[in-house]
Amino acid sequence: MKNRFDEFLALHHSNDLLRIGNVWNAQSAKVYEAQGFKAVGTSSAAVAASLGFSDGEEMAFDDYLFVVRRILASTNAILTVDIEGGYGRTAEDISSNIKRLYEAGVSGINIEDSAVTGGERHIRDAGEFAQQLRQVMELLNKDGVKMFVNLRCDSFLLNVPDALNDALARTAIYQETGVHGLFFPCISKIADIEKVTASSKLPVSVMCVPGLPSFDALQKAGVKRVSDGPFLNMHIYKEFEHTISKIRSENSFAGLF
């Protein structure tokens, strides 16, 4: 299947805010496509939940790849895949996984600077993570793999001390690794967003969180891409639970229609 890296890259440098619909299976991807979304992206947390796993690379990469291939086979939307920390310890392992996604037709990936160990998420040393990413990018370039790499910085997600300055320091390091974009989940204050976008030479992505400014305000603040994260998946299943509860309490399917 044809990789659409160039088209995806161009969307990050257009004058319009790129909306990414986060999906967890082919069915959800088809809904976004029907709504006119040019690109969709897997939410690793939502995919993991749909397969009965917790987030944090618990599901096997081959299981994840099956879901990815079904999405690609079922839609024409550009697909980017959240690969968490890369599903590998070494640059070689991570680049090999990215190459498999590329060969399937994936156009982009998110890779994050934190890892889950013992059930807890911790942010990685910025210098060590950047060095590994440089090695990954070198291996991808050597193999001719064109993949939009969106580096997820978890300073705000983990609420590290002085998260803004930590994110700015990491931005200065990460934008020199050869990646194509930077992603800051859980950033929500417009002043913080403006400082991050002003400091970044790369397109900046943000994610749905309570209190996130409007799409127009995000675009004016310099954001190039916004995504749903796992929240739409969570909302849908909460509604699912409510509907089942209503059917049981009413002892009828009438409320379903």
Angle between helices 26-34 and 61-74 (to 10 degrees): 30
Instruction: From 180, 175, 170, 176, select the one nearest 149 (Cα to Cα).
Output: 180
| Helix, strand and coil percent figures for the chain, each rounded to 5 | 45, 15, 35
* 238 domain residue, yes or no: no
3-state secondary structure of 66: helix
Q: Mind giving me the DSSP string for 148-201?
A: EEEEEP-TTTTT-TTHHHHHHHHHHHHTTTT-SEEE-TT---HHHHHHHHHH-S
Instruction: From 71, 64, 66, 146, select the one nearest 102 (Cα to Cα).
Output: 146
CB of 132 closer than 8 Å to CB of 91: yes
* 84 domain residue, yes or no: yes
Q: Which helix (H) or strand (E) holds 212?
A: none
Strands (E), 9-138: 18-23, 39-42, 78-82, 108-112, 114-117, 120-123
* 243 domain residue, yes or no: no
Say which CATH number the domain at 62 has.
3.20.20.60
Residue 155, number of CB atoms within 10 A of its CB = 27
* 130 domain residue, yes or no: yes
* 237 domain residue, yes or no: no
pLDDT the model gives residue 1 = 64
**Alpha-carbon distance 13 to 18, whole Å?**
9
Structural tokens at position 213: 């400014």
Q: Which residues contact 56 (CB under 8 A, 6 or more apart)?
A: 48, 84, 115, 116, 119, 121
pLDDT the model gives residue 53 = 95
* 167 domain residue, yes or no: yes
Q: What is the pLDDT tens value at each position of the chain, 257 positions in all?
A: 688 999 999 999 999 999 999 999 999 999 999 999 999 999 999 999 999 999 999 999 999 999 999 999 999 999 999 999 999 999 999 999 999 999 999 999 999 999 988 888 999 999 999 999 999 999 999 999 999 999 999 999 999 999 999 999 999 999 999 999 999 999 999 999 999 999 999 999 999 999 999 999 999 999 999 999 999 999 999 999 999 999 999 999 998 88
* 27 domain residue, yes or no: yes
Range of 172's domain?
5-230
* 144 domain residue, yes or no: yes
The total number of structural domains in the chain stands at 1
